[in-house]
Chain A
Amino acid sequence: MLGNAWIWRILGSSPFLGLGLMVLSFLLVFNLKIPSLVLLAVLGSFLLKTTFDTNLLYVSPLEKDRIEHRHEYYAQGLGRIYKNRIGIYLNYSVSPYISRYLKNLSYNLDTNLYFFANHPRERAGVNEFEKFSFVLLPFFIVGLIAIFSGSFGFLVFYFALSLLISALAFPGYDLGPILTFPFIVAVLYLGVTRIAKKWL
C-alpha cells in the first residue's frame, strides 16, 4: 500500500485523504462492505467538493461551434429523424454533457493511467505521473483474473461506483482519480496472495 508513488503524493497533499484511502483499502481487502461504502461516500464528497469538474455543466465556445456545425450535418444526413424537438434537444442539450462525462469515465478506466503515466495516450495539459510502478502490473493482472474467476462482486461494485464518482471530478486533478486507489491496492493484494499461494 505504501510501495507506490501515488499514496505518498496524496499524503503529501492531503493527509486526511491519504489516511482515508489507506483505511478504505484495508476495508476492501477484508471485504467490509458497509464501512467501505460509508468511507467512499465521505471521501467522494470531500473530493467532489474541491475538484468537481465544472466543465461538465459548461459548453465552451469551440464546442458550441462544433454543435452548430453538427446541427447542419445532422439536418442534411438524417432529415426528419433529426429535425424534430427531440433530435435537436439531444444535440444541443444532452450530447455535449454526456460525452464529456463519458470521456472523464474512460480516462479512469485505462490501466496505463495507473502504471505508465497514461503513456502512450497522454492527455494535453494534464500532469500525468506513474501511480504504481509498472513492475507491479503482472500482480495486477493476476488479481484481475482472480476477480473474473471468483466471486468478488463487492470489489467490482466498489470499482464501478468509484469510477462513476471519479468521472464527476476534474480529469486534470493533480492527484488523479484517487477513489480507485483502494481498488487497485485490493487487486494487487489479490494478485500477490494468489501468486504466493501458487509458488510458495
Chain B
Amino acid sequence: MVVKLKILLLLIGVLLLAGILRLWQLGSVPPGLNVDEVSEGYNAYSLIKTGKDRYGMAIPVIFKSFGSYQPPIYTYLTTIPVLAFGPTAFAVKIVSALSGIAVVFFTFLIIRGRLGLLAGLVLTISPWAIFFSRMGTEANIGLAIFIAGFYFLLKSAKETAYFPLAAFLLGLATHAYYSERILSILLLTGFVLINYKIYLKSKKLLFIGLVIFGLTQLPHLAILKSGAFTRRLDQVTYFNRGIPVVREFVSQYSEYFSPRSLFFEPDDQVSRSMPDLSVFYRWMVVPFFFGFAYLIRNYKDGFVKSLFLLALIAPIPAALTTDPFYSLRVFELLWTFSIVISIGIWVLLSKVKQKTLRYTIFLAMLFISLLSFYVNYFVLYKFERSDTVRFSSTELIKITKERQNEKFVVDLSRDISIGVRTALYRRYDPALFQKEIGEPFLDKYYSSVDYEKEYKIDNVEVRAINWKEDVYKDQILVGDPLAISQQQVDEHKLKLEFELKDLSEEVSLRGYSTNPRQKCLSSPLGSVYCDRLQ
C-alpha cells in the first residue's frame, strides 16, 4: 500500500514535470508558427465560425493544405482550444502538448511499477518528445492514440475483451498521421499472429475487433481514388525514380537504428530539429546498448516480443520515403527506443550497489539532460531557428494591423503560408476567406493539390510583387532581401519604411513605401498609371 502510494506520488511528479516541459512558454517559444500549424489553426478557426474549412469544405476527411493534405484529427481537436482561447499560438499547439503528456501516462500504464516510472521519466525529458510536443504536429496526437491502442492491445493478450477497443484506437490513429496508416495494420496483424493461440480462443471478439478496425478505414476508402489519400506518399517516396528500390529501402531503414542519427546529429530538417541536439541526449547511447542487450537476453518475454515487433515495423513507413532520418515519421520507433534506454538505465543503475551513489548519478544525469535541453531549445533553437517559424512574418502582421490606413503588398516567394498566417493572426472572417480565396479550389478539393497564390486580407495583399504596376501605386511593398534588391529600390524610388529581423539579428523582411510621382518623373517611358496621376 505504501509502495503504491509512493509510486502514485512519483507518477504525479513525472506528469507534472512533463507538463512543465511541454507547457511552459508554449505560446512564445518557439516564437511563431510553422506552415502546418498555421494551416491547422486557421482551419480550426474556420470550422468554429462556419462549420467548414478555409476552402469551404464541410467536415473534410483530410484537410487540403499548401500543395498537400493534413490528416484531420489534430485540426478537429484544435477547434476546442481555439474556441476557448481564440486563434493563438498556444491554442494551436496545446493539443500536441497534451498528447505528449498522455504518452507519458500511457507509457507508465504499459510498463508499470518503478521501471514504468523511469520509462515515463525518460520520455518526459527526451529531446524529441518535448520538442515535438511543443509543436502543433499531427504526428504527436497520432503517437498518443497509437500508444493508447498499443496499451489496450497488450491488455487484450490477457483479457481479449479489450481487443475491439485496441482495434478502434489503432484504426483511429490512421486518421491522425500518415505513418500510422501502415503501422496500425502491421502491428495489429503482427500482434495477432504472435498471440494467435490466445485470440483463437475468442474468435468472436477477434472478429468484432477486426470489423471495428475495418469500419474506421471507411473514410480512407471514400477518398481512395481521389488522389488525396496517396498524395503525400507520392510526394515523398523514391518509387518510380529509377533507383534500386531494395537497397534504398534497406539503407533508409537501417539509418533509423544508427547511433549517429539517434544520439549525435540532429535531423537534417532545420525546422524539425534543435541545433546540436539529436533526438536523444548523447549520454543515452550507453543505456541504449545495455537496454538492447537486456531485451535480447529476455526475448521470450511477451512484452519484449511486442516491443521488438514495434521496433521492427516502426521505421517501415519512413523507410519508404527519400528523406534521410525524418524523425517526425518515426515517433513509434523513438518511443520504443525510449523504453529501451530506460531499461538500460535500470540495468546500469542496478549495478551501483550504494544507494546514495545511485541516486546521485541518477539526479546528476537528470539535471544535465534538462540543462542541455534548456540551452539547446530555449536559447539556441529560439534564437537560431526563429526563421523556421517565421518570427518576422508575425511581426509584420502586427505592423499591418497598426497601420490600417496603408496598403501593403507582401511577397510570398519564401513563405507560402503568409496569407493564411495573416488571416489567422488578424482573425479574418473565414466566411469571407472561403468566398474570396477558397471557393475556386473547392470543386477539386481532393483531386487537385493546386492552392491559392494570392490573398487579399483587409489592407494586405499577399502575392508576388508586380514591378510593372505596384510601383505606380501608393502602397508599401514588403519582401525579403531576395524579393526586393537594392537595385530595384533605387530604380523604383522606394523608401525604406521598416526592417524586420529574426531573433538571430538577420534581416528577413524589409518594407518600402512606393513613390509613384517620383517614379513617373524618372521613368522615360511612363506608364498608364502615370497618366492617371496627372
Contact pick for B247, options A106, A121, A134, A148, CB 8 Å: A134
Q: Which of B33-41, B163-171, B255-263 contacts A (4 or more CB under 8 A)?
A: B255-263
Does residue A116 face the partner (Cβ distance < 8 Å to B)?
A: yes
Does residue A63 face the partner (Cβ distance < 8 Å to B)?
A: no
Does residue A115 face the partner (Cβ distance < 8 Å to B)?
A: yes
User: In the complex, A112→B445 CA distance in Å?
Assistant: 41
Residues of A within 8 A of B201 (CB): none
> A101 to nearest B CB, angstroms?
11
**Would you call B254 and A112 a contact (CB within 8 A)?**
yes
**Would you call B264 and A112 a contact (CB within 8 A)?**
no
**Would you call A73 and B380 a contact (CB within 8 A)?**
yes
Q: With A69-B504, A106-B265, A148-B292 as given contacts, are A121 and B324 in contact (CB-CB < 8 Å)?
A: yes
Does residue B325 face the partner (Cβ distance < 8 Å to A)?
A: yes
Does residue A70 face the partner (Cβ distance < 8 Å to B)?
A: yes
Chain A 52-93: CB-based contact to B (< 8 A → 1; otherwise 0): 000000000000000001100110111000000000000000
Beta-carbon nearest neighbor of A140 in chain B: B254
Does residue A158 face the partner (Cβ distance < 8 Å to B)?
A: no
Residues of A within 8 A of B265 (CB): 103, 106, 121
Q: With A116-B251, A121-B260 as given contacts, are A78 and B379 in contact (CB-CB < 8 Å)?
A: yes
Central interface residue in B251, B252, B261, B379, by most chain A CB within 10 Å: B251
Q: With A74-B379, A107-B260, A134-B247 as given contacts, are A121 and B504 in contact (CB-CB < 8 Å)?
A: no
Beta-carbon nearest neighbor of B504 in chain A: A69
Residues of A within 8 A of B384 (CB): 69, 73
Chain B residues numbered 255-299 whose CB sits less than 8 Å from any CB in chain A: 255, 257-261, 263-265, 268, 276, 282, 285, 289, 292-293, 296-297
Q: With A77-B382, A148-B296 as given contacts, are A112 and B251 in contact (CB-CB < 8 Å)?
A: yes
Beta-carbon nearest neighbor of A99 in chain B: B276
**Would you call B258 and A102 a contact (CB within 8 A)?**
no
**Would you call B250 and A134 a contact (CB within 8 A)?**
yes
> B330 to nearest A CB, angstroms?
14
Contact pick for A116, options B254, B297, B323, B382, CB 8 Å: B254
How many chain B residues touch A (CB < 8 A): the figure is 36
> B175 to nearest A CB, angstroms?
29
> A190 to nearest B CB, angstroms?
14
Q: With A70-B380, A77-B382, A99-B276 as given contacts, are A106 and B251 in contact (CB-CB < 8 Å)?
A: no
Does residue B383 face the partner (Cβ distance < 8 Å to A)?
A: yes
User: In the complex, A106→B289 CA distance in Å?
Assistant: 15
Central interface residue in A106, A137, A148, by most chain B CB within 10 Å: A106
Does residue A9 face the partner (Cβ distance < 8 Å to B)?
A: no
> B237 to nearest A CB, angstroms?
13
User: In the complex, A77→B268 CA distance in Å?
Assistant: 25
User: In the complex, A131→B534 CA distance in Å?
Assistant: 75
> A49 to nearest B CB, angstroms?
26
**Would you call A121 and B325 a contact (CB within 8 A)?**
yes
Q: With A109-B258, A110-B261 as given contacts, are A119 and B251 in contact (CB-CB < 8 Å)?
A: yes
Does residue B464 face the partner (Cβ distance < 8 Å to A)?
A: no
**Would you call B259 and A110 a contact (CB within 8 A)?**
yes
Does residue B196 face the partner (Cβ distance < 8 Å to A)?
A: no
User: In the complex, A105→B322 CA distance in Å?
Assistant: 25
> B245 to nearest A CB, angstroms?
13
Chain B residues numbered 306-345 whose CB sits less than 8 Å from any CB in chain A: 322-325
User: In the complex, A164→B247 CA distance in Å?
Assistant: 30
User: In the complex, A106→B277 CA distance in Å?
Assistant: 13
User: In the complex, A109→B254 CA distance in Å?
Assistant: 12
**Would you call A78 and B375 a contact (CB within 8 A)?**
yes
> B341 to nearest A CB, angstroms?
15
User: In the complex, A119→B255 CA distance in Å?
Assistant: 8
**Would you call A116 and B247 a contact (CB within 8 A)?**
yes
User: In the complex, A149→B466 CA distance in Å?
Assistant: 67
Does residue B303 face the partner (Cβ distance < 8 Å to A)?
A: no
**Would you call A120 and B380 a contact (CB within 8 A)?**
no
Interchain Cβ contacts under 8 Å between A and B, 17 examples = A69-B504, A73-B379, A73-B380, A74-B379, A76-B383, A77-B379, A102-B282, A103-B264, A103-B265, A109-B259, A109-B285, A110-B255, A115-B251, A115-B254, A121-B261, A137-B254, A148-B293
Q: Given known contacts A77-B383, A106-B260, what 16 new A-B pairs fall within 8 Å (CB)?
A: A69-B384, A77-B375, A77-B379, A78-B379, A99-B276, A102-B264, A106-B259, A109-B260, A109-B264, A109-B285, A111-B254, A111-B258, A115-B254, A116-B254, A121-B324, A145-B296
